[in-house]
Amino acid sequence: MPERMPETLDSLREKIGEEADYVDIKPYSHNIIGLVLRQIDRDYGKSEANKAIEDYGLEDLGWRKQS
């Protein structure tokens, strides 16, 4: 079975942008963002995940940057 190709950073960030406005409104938005942040961390590093948290104002929604 071939190894999966990681999604592009832009496409992952786009998913966060699509869901951020719906946290606590649409079911599962919070979960989706958490999963996408973990994928960004795994595939692109903690600094990129932290950048997404900052860029999308996710600290106001309960996420915290990791050191």
Per-residue pLDDT tens digits for 20-63: 999 999 989 999 999 999 999 999 999 999 999 999 999 999 99
Would you place residue 7 in the very low, low, confident or very high pLDDT band (cuts 50, 70, 90)?
Answer: confident
Q: How far is CA 4 from CA 41, 43, 55, 57, 62, in A?
A: 16, 12, 27, 30, 31
Residue 63 in any domain: the answer is no
Q: How many domains does one find in the chain?
A: 1
The one-letter code for the residue type at 17 is G
Would you place residue 14 in the very low, low, confident or very high pLDDT band (cuts 50, 70, 90)?
Answer: very high
Once rounded to an integer, what is the mean pLDDT over residues 6-14? 93
What domain range includes position 19?
A: 13-57
Residue 39 in any domain: the answer is yes
